[in-house]
Amino acid sequence: MKTFLKLFVILLTIQQPGFAETPPNFVLCMSDDQGWGDVGFNGHPHLITPVMDEMAATGLRFDRFHAAAPVCSPTRASFLTGRHPNRMGVFSWGHSLRPQEVTIAEVLAQSGYSTGHFGKWHLGSVRADSPVSPGQSGFEEWLSSPNFYENSPLMSQRGKAVETDGESSMITVEAAIPFMEQAIKKQKTFLAVIWFGNPHTPHQATDELKKLYPGLSKKEQNYYGEITGIDQAMGHLRKELDRLKVRENTFLLYTSDNGPQGRTVGSSGGLRGAKGSLWEGGTRVPAMIEWPNRIKKHRVVKTPGNTSDIYPTVLELAGIKSPHQHPLDGISLVDVIDGKQTKREKPMAFWIYTSKGVGTPSAEWMQKLQDEQAGKAEATPAPPLSETALVKKKYKQGDPGGHSALVDEEWKLHAIPTKNKNWKYELYNLNDDEAETTDISKEHPDLVKRMSGELSEWRDSVIDSLNGKDYSTSN
């Protein structure tokens, strides 16, 4: 059920005055558990990723781009809202998006864009009656899965279970093509959010993809094969954008939702940590942008960025402004994209608020939905929202809650909770020590004091949001 504030924000969305360029289409792609080192262009010894390598060599390559969180659902929440996931209670995997949140799809749809979601959702149920389905989150068209998915999965098309046939990443891209064709036929710009289900476990590459890696272990063949499958799907997507004659004015982003899972053959490229960690290996991810009309030549971007920046960046590029916007953590990277700015306007903050994940068995949920449609099972309502989906409890200011970190250009401060509910601070210079091997906090006490104060103030603001302050108009 939509809240008054949510509708109010969207209905007040306006076109920014003075915006003269034709707004671009947006195709925003994200893989699942692909580490910083899981691409050929970052020096992987085996991976075959010619399309990703070409994107990195001809478009914008971001060398310090991060997932806003080290696990799946939280990063996806940041991607859609421009806000840190803890503000809306999406603490860990399987936690639902709050219905009160305003998404990039809702804002663009209200401004005339066609909007579609294809692939992994993992922000709530994909049933038609769910208040946090893709359809209720601003996407007019959707073929989505509750969580990760393998080849030939059952998926939800606008709330109806449908069978698919083929390699999972190619299925995802193929679903987006008719959507884009329809938008073009209607002379509408479009937003296509394409979230691949690979290379998340259990890793089941097709035989054709595994054959590309002879002599390697089965684990490696399946893992690398899935990433090459994404690469091939991205190649198909780019060719289709060419065929549809929209590639020149399409903003195409590719990134990942977090670092590699620790028990797999995934690579963080020598960075410390993996999925679930706030060390660089848990959040730094590959990121590339293509947009021929505006990005005329290749450039490597060293400016820090993260998935919370996607929302404000897209809105500015579309010439859209949302008055009364909920507080954002992300910033627009338009000047960075245009080469006018190399320094980030404000630090990036990260925070793992300790909370268990919520199981999201995609295949089981989708089979149940299909059985209901066939009359083989009693119909049930959408699975209930997780306890974090609505404001149901009050959280305390100053509660450490879990590991947090602040990145200010080359400096990264970690605040690690201790047993006595205090903080242990560690400071790293990422220009000199991107693997975070040497704590230099004792050498820079003034810097630690400043950054720890900023981080504490930011955490307090997050708790305010978590307790519903941003929704107060509707309460």
> What's the pLDDT tens digit per position in 182-210?
999 999 999 999 999 999 999 999 999 99
Candidates 110, 86, 116, 104; CA nearest to 179 is 116
Return the structure tokens found at 333: 């990277």
Give the pLDDT of residue 394.
84
Parse the chain into domains and list their residue ranges: 23-346
The Cα–Cα gap between 289 and 310 comes to 11
Give bridge partners of residue 407 from the DSSP assignment: 348, 412
Give the pLDDT of residue 11.
46
The Cα–Cα gap between 180 and 177 comes to 5
Residue 271 near residue 47 (C-beta atoms within 8 A): no
CA distances from 408 to 299, 352, 417 (A): 22, 18, 21
Comparing 211 with 383, the larger pLDDT belongs to 211
Relative to beta strand 299-301, strand 60-62 is: parallel
- The verdict on whether omega for the bond into residue 199 sits within 30 degrees of 0, i.e. cis, is yes
Predicted confidence (pLDDT) per residue in 373-414, tens digit? 988 888 776 555 554 466 777 888 877 789 999 999 999 999
Q: What is the 3-state secondary structure (H, E, C) of the chain?
A: CCCHHHHHHHHCCEECCCCCCCCCEEEEEEECCCCCCCCHHHCCCCCCCHHHHHHHHHCEEECCEECCCCCHHHHHHHHHHCCCHHHHCCCCCCCCCCCCCCCHHHHHHHCCCEEEEEEECCCCCCCCCCCCCCHHHCCCEEEEECCCCCCCCEEEECCEEEECCCCHHHHHHHHHHHHHHHHHHCCCCEEEEEECCCCCCCCCCCHHHHCCCCCCCHHHHHHHHHHHHHHHHHHHHHHHHHHCCCHHHEEEEEEECCCCCCCCCCCCCCCCCCCCCCCHHHHECCEEEECCCCCCCCEEECCCEEHHHHHHHHHHHCCEECCCCCCCCCCCCHHHHCCCCCCCCCCEEEECCCCCCCCCCHHHHHHHHHHHHCCCCCCCCCCCCCCCCCCCCCCCCCCCCCCEEEEECCEEEEEEECCCCCEEEEEEECCCCCCCCCCCHHHCHHHHHHHHHHHHHHHHHHHHHHCCHHHHHHC
AA identity, residue 108: L
Q: Is the pLDDT of residue 250 over 80?
A: yes
| Mean of pLDDT values over 275-303 | 98
Predicted confidence (pLDDT) per residue in 304-363, tens digit? 999 999 999 999 999 998 766 899 999 999 999 999 999 999 999 999 988 888 888 999
Angle, CA 100 vertex, CA 402 and CA 466 arms, to 5°: 25
Residues near 214 by beta carbon (within 8 Å), at least 6 away in sequence = none
Give the pLDDT of residue 17.
42
Residue 417: count other Cβ atoms within 10 Å of its Cβ.
17
Which CATH code for domain 23-346? 3.40.720.10
Give the pLDDT of residue 386.
55
Predicted confidence (pLDDT) per residue in 411-425, tens digit? 999 999 998 888 999
Return the structure tokens found at 6: 């949510």
Predicted confidence (pLDDT) per residue in 41-78, tens digit? 999 999 999 999 999 999 999 999 999 999 999 999 99
Comparing 387 with 155, the larger pLDDT belongs to 155
